[in-house]
């Protein structure tokens, strides 16, 4: 690990529901160091690069301070940073591009909290903590919803009365930072222009698919929250609202929310396993069905998105499952075989960037996730062209 030049580095913070991720990027986009504090509220661990050790984080503030302490011990103190950039899950309908945070934008961020009560409060807490520790440090908010602001109204509107839509009840879409990074990276990987109709699959703990036409999102599987859409590690994905209403009436709102977000998906179907690698290695009927369910709904939703962009020229996989689970990629591409998609088994097994055979009618690619690098680039673009930005 190398220490960045004083004043040129950008600190990226991703505060999740049970973890705080951080990375430091230099002026040229090079990642200098990556950290993870996870297991907030219980026994956790602190990972600094490839080093890791057990740790106890009672609160998000404690986790953030542990991350900053670890950074400082390696020469990356806040006064070496040009700015801090935060992944903010929800920007609502108004915040559709990255912003420098001031009192006005901080208030706007706060107004988005009801839209993402499980995520945005942690993002805001990290912003406020850094404001207290380094008041002169510019901070930038980069939104996971922003990439999908180009979806047409017919794609984002639920069929509910105007008075309900006016309360912000609509589809927003998520994983937008990942998709924006993918759109930027794919031409560098292929050496060609971005495919006009691109089906992008972010498959990880959370999973979604995005229809990207001419570089712009036109439809995506996640909706009002990151719960909608595909089968995920612990989230149910799509479920009839009437079923949710019944569960809420019988079991209570909090218990229903906990079940849908943390006890469902692969975990619920398999009887407790959330890791795709473990499921693929498990020959039990429950594990096989969980994998079948994941792949079936990925292909089924893909068909809908292909219709939304009136065809498909290429498929790109990203995220932990998308990049590493060759059997999942093979099954999804096989499910799109009616389109003429054909995968190269050897290339897929090796995890090569180019996955398709020469005669495939649809290009198939792996694009490594680069959300944090994208966040740093967004922040850099908002800062003055010269000087420290402080």
Which tokens belong to 295? 């792949």
* Under 8 Å between Cβ of 342 and 359: yes
- Non-local CB neighbours of 262 within 8 Å, separated by 6+ positions: 234, 235
Residue 205 has a pLDDT of: 92
Burial class (CB in 10 A: 0-12, 13-18, 19+), 62: middle
Q: What is the pTM of this model?
A: 0.94
Helix (H) or strand (E) holding 25: strand 19-25
The answer to whether 9-143 and 192-371 have equal CATH topology is yes
Q: Which long-range contacts (CB under 8 A, 24 or more apart) does 278-286 make?
A: 280/325, 280/327, 280/328
214 is catalytic: no
- Give the closest residue to 171 by CA, choosing from 201, 210, 204: 210
- Six-digit token pair at 211? 């229809």
Rounded CA gap, 101 and 92, in Å?
16
Q: What is the pLDDT of residue 242?
A: 98
Residue 33 forms beta bridges with which residues? 24
Contact status, residue 333 vs residue 364, Cβ threshold 8 Å: yes
Domain ranges in the chain? 9-143, 192-371
pLDDT digits (tens, 9 = 90+) for 190-214: 999 999 999 999 999 999 999 999 9
What fold characterizes domain 192-371? Nucleotidyltransferase; domain 5 (3.30.420)
The residues facing 200 across adjacent strands are: 210, 316
Beta strands in 197-331 (DSSP E): 197-203, 207-213, 216-220, 314-318
The neighbour count for residue 125, using CB atoms within 10 Å, is 16
Lay out the sheet containing 363-366: strands in order across.
216-220, 207-213, 197-203, 314-318, 363-366
Q: What is the CA 268 to chain-centroid distance, rounded?
A: 22
Give the pLDDT score at 119: 87
In the prediction, which pLDDT does 3 show?
Answer: 43
Rounded Cα–Cα distance for residues 346 and 344 (Å): 6
Residue 41: per-residue pLDDT: 85
Say what the pLDDT of residue 356 is.
98
Which of the residues 144, 292, 344, 345 is marked catalytic? 144
User: 51 with 83: CB under 8 angstroms?
Assistant: no
CA distances for 43 relative to 40, 59, 262, angstroms: 7, 12, 18
> What contacts 107, CB < 8 A, 6 or more positions away?
none
Buried b (16+ CB within 10 A) or exposed e, 11-30: bbbbbbeebbbbbbbbeeee
Q: Which residue has the tokens 């996971």?
A: 144
Using 70 as the pLDDT threshold, list the residues of the chain that sit under it: 1-6, 385-390
Could you give the CA distance from residue 174 to residue 207 in angstroms, rounded to a whole number?
10
Give the CATH fold of the 9-143 domain: Nucleotidyltransferase; domain 5 (3.30.420)
Residue-level pLDDT at 387: 47
The residue assigned the tokens 């690990």 is 1
> Hunting for tokens 């301070």 — which residue is that?
65
């Amino acid at each position: 690990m190398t220490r960045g030049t004083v004043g040129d580095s950008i600190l990226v913070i991703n505060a999740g529901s049970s973890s705080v991720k951080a990375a430091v990027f230099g002026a040229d986009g090079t990642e200098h160091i990556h950290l993870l504090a996870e297991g907030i509220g219980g026994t956790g661990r602190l990972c600094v690069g490839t080093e890791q050790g057990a740790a106890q984080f009672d609160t998000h503030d404690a986790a953030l301070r542990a991350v900053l302490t670890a950074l400082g011990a390696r020469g990356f103190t806040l006064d070496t940073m040009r700015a801090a950039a935060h992944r903010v899950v929800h920007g609502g309908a108004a915040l559709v591009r990255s912003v420098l945070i001031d009192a006005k934008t901080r208030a706007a961020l706060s107004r988005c909290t009801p839209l993402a009560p499980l995520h945005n409060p942690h993002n805001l807490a990290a912003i406020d903590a850094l404001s207290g520790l380094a008041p002169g440090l510019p901070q930038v908010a980069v939104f996971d919803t922003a990439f999908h602001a180009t979806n047409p109204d017919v794609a984002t509107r639920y069929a509910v009365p105007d008075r309900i839509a006016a309360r912000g009840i609509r589809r927003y879409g998520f994983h937008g930072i990942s998709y924006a990074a993918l759109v930027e990276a794919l031409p560098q990987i292929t050496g060609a222009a971005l495919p006009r109709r691109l089906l992008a699959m972010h498959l990880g703990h959370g999973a979604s698919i995005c229809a990207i036409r001419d570089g712009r999102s036109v439809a995506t599987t996640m909706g009002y929250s990151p719960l909608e859409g595909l089968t995920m590690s612990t989230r149910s994905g799509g479920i009839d609202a009437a079923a949710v209403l019944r569960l809420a009436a019988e079991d209570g709102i909090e218990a229903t929310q906990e079940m849908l977000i943390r006890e469902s998906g692969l975990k619920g179907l398999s009887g407790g396993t959330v890791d795709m690698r473990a499921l693929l290695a498990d020959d039990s009927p429950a594990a096989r069905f969980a994998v079948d369910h994941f792949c079936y709904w990925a292909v089924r939703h893909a068909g809908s998105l292909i219709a939304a962009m009136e065809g498909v020229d290429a498929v790109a996989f990203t995220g932990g499952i998308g990049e590493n689970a060759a059997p999942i990629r093979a099954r999804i591409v096989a499910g799109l075989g009616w389109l003429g998609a054909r995968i190269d088994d050897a290339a897929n097994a090796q995890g090569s960037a180019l996955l398709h055979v020469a005669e495939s009618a649809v290009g198939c690619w792996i694009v490594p996730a680069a959300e944090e690098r994208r966040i740093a680039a967004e922040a850099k673009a908002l800062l003055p062209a010269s000087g420290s930005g402080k």
